[in-house]
Amino acid sequence: MSGEIRLFSAIAVRPAVLALLPRFEAATGLKVAVKWALNPAIRKEIEAGEAFDLVITNPDHVEDLTALGKIRAGSQVAFGRIAMGVAVRSGTRAPEIGSVEAFKHALTTARSIAYASDGTSGAYFTGLLKRLGMDGEIESRLVAIEGGRTAPAVGRGEAELGVVPVTSILAAAPEVMLVGRFPDELQSYIDFATGISTDATNAEATGTLSEFLASAEVDDILTAKGLECR
């Protein structure tokens, strides 16, 4: 089997995917060319005609694109989920966030809080602040960062705290440290799934990659990179 597979993937799972692809390419002889984007952009670009063979994005986007005839019906496979976490710059004090009250206190006492200005995680965090009645209280200290760059911004000292998917925090080490995940009562998981294009140039090779990403043999890498397995 030979050829190149065009993978269109969410930025949030980039650390895990980059760790997995060398193993896949060595085992199969196939090459994978990856394009990265935020989940909303992936959907819009595919709707507009972006060519791809396999996509990794939110399950609801896979379902919608399947309904539009962009993804092959029955090809959706769960890839994993990512928890929301809190980051600080390495070497600085890590606040207590183990309970709802501690989490709220950490936010109200932080000088600045970075979050993704677009994408799934940023929308959840701003919605959470409204639900907790904290949006007005800390609005002036929020620092909106372009998606995929929030954790590195914390490492550069642009904000005291960062609220971002755990995968992004781990990928920004050693400059950034994971304080911990959101308390269970406030946690929101970002789910991911794969889907095969109806116009895949090499359906057999694309199916092989889809099966590999869903196999138990990659669970150790997913876990190490911050994804909770299917």
Could you tell me how far CA 195 lies from the centroid of its own chain?
16
Whether residue 149 sits in one domain with residue 173:
yes
Whether residue 113 sits in one domain with residue 86:
yes
Tokens for 213?
Answer: 């990403």
Whether residue 30 sits in one domain with residue 62:
yes
Per-residue confidence (pLDDT) for residue 3, from 0 to 100? 77
Whether residue 103 sits in one domain with residue 64:
no
Tokens for 178?
Answer: 């994971």
Other residues' Cβ atoms within 10 Å of the Cβ of residue 153: 21
Q: pLDDT tens digits, residue range 79-133?
A: 999 999 999 999 999 999 999 999 999 999 999 999 998 878 899 999 999 999 9
CATH number at residue 162: 3.40.190.10
Name beta bridge partners: 136: none
Whether residue 197 sits in one domain with residue 159:
no
Per-residue confidence (pLDDT) for residue 148, from 0 to 100? 78
Residues in the chain: 230
Residue written as tokens 């932080």? 110
Nearest-5° Cα angle at 172, 168 to 178: 70
Whether residue 98 sits in one domain with residue 29:
no
Whether residue 94 sits in one domain with residue 157:
yes
192 in helix, strand or coil? strand
Tokens for 56?
Answer: 């990794």
Domain containing 157 equals 82-186
Whether residue 205 sits in one domain with residue 176:
no
What distance in Å separates the CA atoms of residue 222 and residue 15, rounded to the nearest whole number? 9
State how many domains the chain has.
2
Q: What is the mean pLDDT of each run of 10 residues along the chain (230 residues)?
A: 87 93 95 94 96 97 98 96 96 96 97 90 93 93 89 96 94 95 95 97 95 94 87
Residue written as tokens 């193993």? 23
Whether residue 159 sits in one domain with residue 102:
yes
Whether residue 57 sits in one domain with residue 101:
no
Whether residue 163 sits in one domain with residue 129:
yes
Whether residue 62 sits in one domain with residue 42:
yes
Per-residue confidence (pLDDT) for residue 172, from 0 to 100? 93
